[in-house]
Structures are given as C-alpha cells and as structure tokens.
Structure 1
Amino acid sequence: MRFNYKLITSFTGMLLVINGVFMLLCLPFSIYYDEPIYSLGLSGLITAVFGSTIWYLTRNNESRELKKKDGYLIVVLGWLSMSVFGSLPYLISGSIPDFTNAFFETISGYTTTGASILTDIEAVDKGILFWRSLTQWIGGMGIIVLVVAILPILGIGGMQLFIAEAPGISPDKMKPRIKDVAKRLWFIYLGLTLSEMVLLMFGGMSFYDAINHSLTTMATGGFSTKNASIAYYDSAYIQYVIILFMFLAGTNFTITYYGFKGKFTKVWSNEEFRNYFTIVIALSVCIAFFVFSDQWEGFEKSFRDSLFQVVSIVTTTGYVTADYTAWAPFLTVIFFLLMFLGASAGSTAGGIKVIRHTLLFKNSFLEMKRQLHPSAVIPVRLNGKAVNRDITYNVLAFVMIYLLIFGSGVFLISFTGVDFNTALGAVATSLGNIGPGLGSVGPVYNFAHISDFGKWLLSFLMLLGRLELFTVLMLFNPSFWKKY
C-alpha cells in the first residue's frame, strides 16, 4: 500500500494553521497585562503562514482517501510538528532560550504530561503562560479529533485518524458518524472547562488563574500558573472543585455523556468506571488514615490531601497540594505504583488505563480455571459480555511492551548521572504523562537539571505514552513502510 504523502503533508499544514491561530488567541492576555506581543504574534504568524503554504501547495490531490497507515503517520507528524512550532513563543520571548528546553516544555504540554523545566513560573509573561496552558488543552482531547469533525467538509474520511489518536482500546461510538462523535466529545470537553472556570472564580481565583487551571485540569495536564501549584491556594473549596474535575477528566467521555443524559444506571453498570471510582475512594481513605496518624493535621485536611494526590496521580494530571514523597516510605511506593494505573480509556488521562488492568487481572485468574478445565471455553467478560481474544492479546502485548519500554528508559537515563529513584520517577512519569515523579523530579522539584540527552529521551517517552505506544512504534517497524 502506497502512502498518500500529498494528503499527509496537506493535513499537517492544516494542523499548523490551527496551531498558529491558537497562538494568536493568547495575544489579548499579553495586551491586557501590558506585555510585549511580538513573540506570540510572530510565532503565530510564522506557524500559520508555513502551515497554509504547505497546505496550499498540496491541496490538489486526486485521491482523497485516507488509509489507516496515513492516519498513523499524520498523528505522529502532527504532534511533532506542533511541538516544534509550539516552541517558538518560548524561544522568541526568551523565557526559554534553549531549543532543547523549549521543545521539552512544549511536548510536555501537548502530551499533557506537565513535566516542566521552568524554575520560576510566576516570572514568565502571562501571555506565554496562557500559551503553555493552552498546549495542554489542545493536546488533551487531541487536536486530531477536533479536525476530524471538519474532515467530511473537505471530502476526507476521518475514522483512521480517530482510531490512531483516541485513547484507550477502541472508541465507544455514541453515534455512527465519526464527525458527530468528535463534535460531542469537544462539546463536553469545552462545557466542563467553562464550568470549572466559573466555579474556581466563585472560590476567589482570578479570571486569569481560573481559565488557566481549567484548561490544564480538563486536559489532565497539570501545568499551573503558580510555583507551588495548587498548594498556593490554601482553600478547601478550590481543591475540592479541582478534585471533582480531575476525576471527570479521567472518566471515559462516553460515560460522562451518559451521565449528562441522566442515564446513571448505564454509568454505574460500566465495570471500568466502578473500578476507577472504587480504587480512588478506597486508596484515598486508607492513605488519609496513615497521613492523619503521622502528621496530625486534622482528618479533613489529611483526607483532602490524600484524595487530591491520589486523583491527581491516577488521572495523570500531576497537580500538587502536598509532597507525597515526604510521607511514609511505603506511601511513596504506593504513589509510584499508581503511576502505572492510569484512569479510564476514552478520557484525557495517560497511563496504562483501568480497563487494561481489569482485563489483565480477569484473564490471569481465568487462566487458572483453564488449567483445571483445559477443554472448557472460558472467555474473559467485561460488562457482562465476552471479550474478543484479540483484544485480550492486545492488552497483554501493550502491558508487556509498556514495562519493557519503562525498564529500557530507566537503564538509558541512568547513564545521565541521576540517582536510581530519580531515574524510576522520571521515566514512569514521562511514559505515563503524569508530571511529578520521584527523587529530584518529585512534586516540589522540576526537570531543569536533567541533561539534554535525558530531556530528549523523556520527550520521546512522553510522545509514546500520549499516543498509546503502538501509534509511534509502528513507524519503527520495517513492514510499515513496505509497498504492497
């Protein structure tokens, strides 16, 4: 099968045009706060002009059919090109003058990881910080899904792109047409973002801080406008609002849609959602008792800090209200293990995902039954329905490859001179798109001290994690490039 390179280039140009427009949308904040506008303005123009030029040169294409391979290539090239051009505001403004650091910060935004190299966030111009938050919001649901909604207008089918980019095992279609699915997803995404912004403003946040934190909460990204992250706001109300929306952002958007429609029975009957909810509540209560007995800060405060950190790590948001590495050592181990959990498939969260863990455990227990009854047909069931064996094999392969990449990443980054805890935390948090890790990249530190090689390695891991491994790894398979 031949690649439709002309269509791939045209689509990449379209993505860059949209990227440039989003940059220009940050200008009102620079103007309002009396900051220089040339960095965002020039970056937006360069990106939009370059994108529109390559789109114009490749717009006339005889074949408008988008093959599955084309979809995978567009997604990877789209994320990389947006990250390269998304670095321009940092470089031109001088807030991050080094390209390696600027690219790291940008791809950390688009992949909703939240790992940062900025040592003094509050000193950065407000317009640039808004762009930083916006990169996470764009990457949260995926700009690919946004553009899929307009592909039919251009005469191009978008199912291949949606499958390549959408998180989880497979999208649960709310309506038959992919255009309608994408529109509904973005309607929910935008509606929740605006709702959180209003609630945060009621809690005393300024409009600027509220919109930034709403953008990065719904993206499960975790970039904050404050050096101390959410710990800056000593407000139970604000923290509980953010907990709620982090949890919603980590919920399958199809389930959220059913909730808005009042179909609560359908929501609770979903096995992944029940497991996700149970894990969050059970762990939060257990950890709260240990924190309360150790620190004596009052049970409500202990429960709130525990719940906040559990939800933040499970949903791969990465906000911080407390340094969980300063708690009991075994609690640090629990939070490290949570970095491999992930929230729901079909959400903006990263990680392995609850549904994969559910299928993995079910298949493991059923394997013992199969050993006792080798002639019996015992399928894995999810939500009362038998799961296709191909999906089970896919889950097993995904988890195995995920752990293999994690181990390889720890081995490679150890050559940069970081200690073992830092190596474990940096790789786990990058691959899981979480943000804070362990050691010198823990909740109260950042990634500024990591070597250039380490930052490029972690950037690659962020992309792998955001695009669910296979989308990127397929490009390294020689058979992917064969023409047949």
Structure 2
Amino acid sequence: MYRNLLKQRYRLVFGYIGNLFVFFPLVMMLPVLYCIWYPSVFVDSLPFLEAAVICFAFGILFKLIMKVKPGAPITVQEGAIIVFFAWVFGIIFSALPFIFGGYLNFTQAIFESTSGLTTTGLTMVNVLAIPDTYLLWRSILQFLGGAGFAIIMMSAILGPGGLGLYKAEGRMDNLVPNIKSSTRTIAVIYTSYAVAGILMYRIAGMNWFDAINHSLTALATGGFSTRLGSIGEFNSLPVEIVTIVLMLLGATGFGIHYTLWRRNFRAFWKNGEPKLMFLIIAFFTPLIMAGTMKYFYESIGTQFRHALFQSVSALTGTGFSTVDFIPWNQMGLYLLTILMIFGGNLDSTSGGLKQYRLFALWKLLWMEIKMYFLPKNALLKEEIWKGETKRYLNHSLVKEILLVFSLYFITYAVGVGITASYGHSLAFSAFEFASALSTVGLSVGITLPSSPVGLIWTETIGMFLGRLEFLVVIYAITKLLRDGKVMLAKRRND
C-alpha cells in the first residue's frame, strides 16, 4: 500500500517537473526575439530553437505520462525533489544552445549554464567571439536564477498548493499569505528594478544592448558582462554608481524590499541585515584602500572608488570588477575572500553564508553575554526581524545556522584542496573557490576554458551546492535513496 502511495506521489512530482519544462522553452526563445532588430544573427539563433524543441518534448512526455491534477498540493520533502530536478534539468537544457552552436563542449556548457542560473558569473566564454544572442541568453539565465528559477517558473503552475516548493527553495520571505501572490510580488519588484536599471544605464552612457544585459546581471548579482574587461572597461563613474546601486538592491532580501514598497519604515528599520551589510562595506573599504589600493593608485579618490566597488561586488556576490586581481597582494585577496564568504541578505539574489545568519550569530553571542550577568533562572528573548515578521532566536534557527556554516566550510575546505592540487597557490585557490561556492564570479585567472576537466566540475558542483545552500540537495538525494530502497524491498518481497 505504501509502495502505491509512493508511486502516486512521484507521479505528481515528475508531472510538475514536466509542466515546468513545457513552459521553459518560452524563456529559451527570448534570445531569438533579438533577431527582429538584427535579422543577420538569425542563423546563430537556430541552436536556441533546437534546444527549445527538445525541452518542450521532454516536458510534454512527462506531463502526458504522469497526468498530474492541476493544483495538487505538495509537501516540503517533495518540493525538495522538484527543486533539485528542476535545477538539474534546467541547467542541462540551458547548456544545449552553447553545445549545438559549437561554442562550448559539454563540460564547459554545463559550467556556463550553472554559472548563469546560480548567478555566479565565472565564465568559459570569450565575449568577443560569441554572437550577441548568446550574451543575452547568459544575462537572461542570471536574471531568472536570481529570483529563484524554480519559484518563478512554477508559480503559475502550482497555485496555492506550492508552499512545499516555496520552502524547499530555501525561502523565508512569504510576503503575503498566498504563495502565488508572493511570487508575483517578487517578480513585480524584481522586474521594476531591472527596467529602472536599464534606463539609468542609458542615461549613464551605455548603449541599449549593454544596458539591458548589465541591468539584468547586476540586479541578479550575477556579474556576466558583455565586455572582456567587465564594468572597468567602461571607465565611467556614473556607470559604476548605477552598478553599485543595482548590486545592493539585488543583495537585499525581497522581504525587506516589500517593507519599503508598503512604506512600513518601522519594520524596515527593525531588520538588521541592511545595517550589517553597510557596516561591513564601511569597515572593509578603507582596509582594502590601505592594504592594496595605495600600491596601484596615488589619488585617495581613485583608491576609494575602486575599493568601494570591489567591496560591494564581493559582498553582494555579483562579480563585476573594475580592476585586474592577478597583481593584487595577498592582503587584498584575503579581504575580498572574507567578503565573498559573508554574502548578501537571506532571500536575496546573493550567495554566501548570508547576512541574516551572521546577524543572528551576533545576536546570539550578545544574548549569551547578557545571560552571563543575569540570575540563573532568568529568561531572555532576543528578537530578530525578517521583512515584516518578528522572530525570536530559538534552537531551530541556531541549528540551521550551524548546519549551513558547517556544510559550507567543509565543502570550501575540500574545494580549495582540489583547486590547489592542480598547482595553484593556496591564496589563489581560496579566492577562486570562494567565488564559486558563494556564487560571486570574481576570478584570479584560474577558471579558463583550458582548465582541467576535474577543476571545472569541482567549481560547477560548488556553484550548484552554494546556490541551493546544501540542505535542499541533501534532503532531495536522501529522500530519493530512501524511497528507492523501499520500492526495491517491496519488489523483492513481491
């Protein structure tokens, strides 16, 4: 009987995955729209059509075989499996245009699409040797991945029964009671900022193509650029200011944005994440100026300009740069590595450990200090706000923080070790893998198309685990193995 129930639940799970990839080809066709203005690149867009057809056929096949009832609710455990497979298949289908176009091999293409959807920004692509449609596709991937690939694509499919998927993506910012309304609100906020960013870039002097791509990737804290020298190639202070604003907006949690949109300034001020983020930037910027920038620039203003930009880019997990990091001393690389590990706000487009967990850790330490001076039987509650919701530090939150921190640093240690084993210095290896695991995208030249296959896959897995924050992947794989074991045991008994 339990075996039959499992079959029904997995039909539901894979039916929803099929539904997702029936709609995903619409996203894959967006770069083809570029051909309306530039018909000469239509031939270069044919790989997107081929990939879209394969994706649609995959989705239809699953949908017809599984026959899912629309609106059927799913549990958090089933949501974890949907999120896991949605990302895996999404990465594979997103990689197909690069393979069909002959620009990247399978390993490189998977790396590129993973870097896109996880909003990392490390790349295998030479932006000078690839058509504009592919540059636009990379930007679309980052924009989609920043808002939560599975959430945005599934919101129109699941309806109010999608709470399990919403939580499985690691989100806490349920802005309104209805999940579908929450995802729509996130989409409205996110898209509005992107449009405003495009207009501001145009005013700053970018052409339309550069403005669209950089607005999508800056807001997604992704870092893919249409220029070989990233933002530094524009050598424009207005462009850098617009980029800093977009990076900070992208690194701020959607729940916090929602408090501002509702003019709930009291709740906004109660949130510790934005204050901590600005405090960290204010602390690290002069350190980078004094420790590194003074060796490259004589002007204090120029030192501050580049130190601030790199600090914001690293902390927000964006990966745009205005300098070359290879000549940097170890002091500067060390400081940026710390910023990349810290990351942006929870429920934002950023990676890393997240400001919410760092702030909660600080509150926990402060609470322990206060408890030391209170009577033994005294009770003390420490509140911590997320958006418009007030929470309290409790055992569950502390356990979650310890789990994520432990898994992060274990994975980080292994990844740095593997990277160093390919002959790179420990400082460069620590920097590069922190960039991959925290989905940042800054590089000291280790990540190249010519890099060893093992190194590329190590970074690919790091980006994937970092974006899904480990637990979702562990839960999904554990449930699949556990249910598979049950199914096999039942079959043997039969």
Distance apart, 1:243 and its partner CA: 0.4
Q: How does 1:289-328 map to 2 (within 5 A)?
A: 293-324=294-325, 326-328=327-329
**Alignment partner, residue 11 of structure 2:** 6
Q: Deviations over 1:28-64 (max 9, x none)?
A: 2245341213112222222223222322332345992
Distance apart, 1:72 and its partner CA: 0.2
Q: How does 1:232-251 map to 2 (within 5 A)?
A: 232-251=233-252
Distance apart, 1:304 and its partner CA: 1.8
Q: How does 1:74-473 map to 2 (within 5 A)?
A: 74-96=82-104, 98-118=105-125, 120-152=126-158, 157-167=161-171, 170-171=172-173, 173-288=174-289, 293-324=294-325, 326-367=327-368, 370=371, 375-383=377-385, 386-438=392-444, 440-441=445-446, 446-473=447-474
Is 2:29 the counterpart of 1:21?
no
Deviates more, 1:306-315 or 1:370-379: 370-379
What SS is found at the alignment partner of 1:477?
A: helix
Change (3 A) 1:280 1:42: same
**CA distance in 2: counterparts of 1:288 and 1:57, whole angstroms:** 60
**CA distance in 2: counterparts of 1:241 and 1:289, whole angstroms:** 25
What SS is found at the alignment partner of 1:87?
A: helix
For structure 2, the residue ranges without an aligned partner over 5 or more in a row are 488-494
Distance apart, 1:325 and its partner CA: 5.1
TM-score with structure 1 setting the length? 0.91
Distance apart, 1:285 and its partner CA: 4.0
Q: Deviations over 1:103-122 (max 9, x none)?
A: 1111111111111122x212
What SS is found at the alignment partner of 1:344?
A: coil
Contact 2:31/2:136 (<8 A) preserved = yes
Change (3 A) 1:293 1:423: closer
Q: Deviations over 1:243-277 (max 9, x none)?
A: 00100100111211222333334322311221112
What SS is found at the alignment partner of 2:457?
A: helix
What SS is found at the alignment partner of 2:411?
A: helix
Change (3 A) 1:480 1:185: farther
2:235 partner amino acid: D
**CA distance in 2: counterparts of 1:459 and 1:62, whole angstroms:** 34
Contact 2:77/2:168 (<8 A) preserved = no
Distance apart, 1:479 and its partner CA: 8.8
Contact 2:351/2:467 (<8 A) preserved = yes
**CA distance in 1: counterparts of 2:327 and 2:362, whole angstroms:** 31
Contact 1:20/1:47 (<8 A) preserved = yes
1:161 partner amino acid: L
2:141 partner amino acid: T
Distance apart, 1:142 and its partner CA: 1.3
What SS is found at the alignment partner of 2:33?
A: helix
Distance apart, 1:289 and its partner CA: 5.1
Distance apart, 1:179 and its partner CA: 1.1
Identical residues among aligned pairs (%): 28
Deviates more, 1:365-374 or 1:186-195: 365-374
Distance apart, 1:237 and its partner CA: 0.4
**Alignment partner, residue 491 of structure 2:** none
2:139 partner amino acid: S
What SS is found at the alignment partner of 2:350?
A: coil
**Alignment partner, residue 42 of structure 1:** 50
Q: Deviations over 1:82-102 (max 9, x none)?
A: 111111110111111x10011
1:157 partner amino acid: G
Distance apart, 1:451 and its partner CA: 1.5
Q: Deviations over 1:173-195 (max 9, x none)?
A: 32111111111000000110111
Q: How many residues were matched structurally?
A: 472
Q: Deviations over 1:262-318 (max 9, x none)?
A: 333432231122111221233224434555643344333222211111111111010
Contact 2:170/2:472 (<8 A) preserved = no
Is 2:33 the counterpart of 1:32?
no
Change (3 A) 1:325 1:375: farther
**CA distance in 1: counterparts of 2:68 and 2:337, whole angstroms:** 51
Is 2:60 the counterpart of 1:52?
yes
Deviates more, 1:80-89 or 1:400-409: 400-409
1:52 partner amino acid: I
**CA distance in 2: counterparts of 1:353 and 1:405, whole angstroms:** 16
Contact 2:316/2:340 (<8 A) preserved = no
Change (3 A) 1:456 1:217: same
What SS is found at the alignment partner of 2:151?
A: helix
Contact 1:428/1:437 (<8 A) preserved = no
1:336 partner amino acid: T
What SS is found at the alignment partner of 1:123?
A: coil
Change (3 A) 1:208 1:392: same
2:144 partner amino acid: I
**CA distance in 2: counterparts of 1:344 and 1:285, whole angstroms:** 22
Distance apart, 1:379 and its partner CA: 4.2
TM-score with structure 2 setting the length? 0.89
Contact 1:145/1:166 (<8 A) preserved = no
2:98 partner amino acid: Y
Contact 2:31/2:133 (<8 A) preserved = yes
What SS is found at the alignment partner of 2:461?
A: helix
1:111 partner amino acid: T
Q: Deviations over 1:372-395 (max 9, x none)?
A: 765444444425863222111211
What SS is found at the alignment partner of 2:161?
A: coil
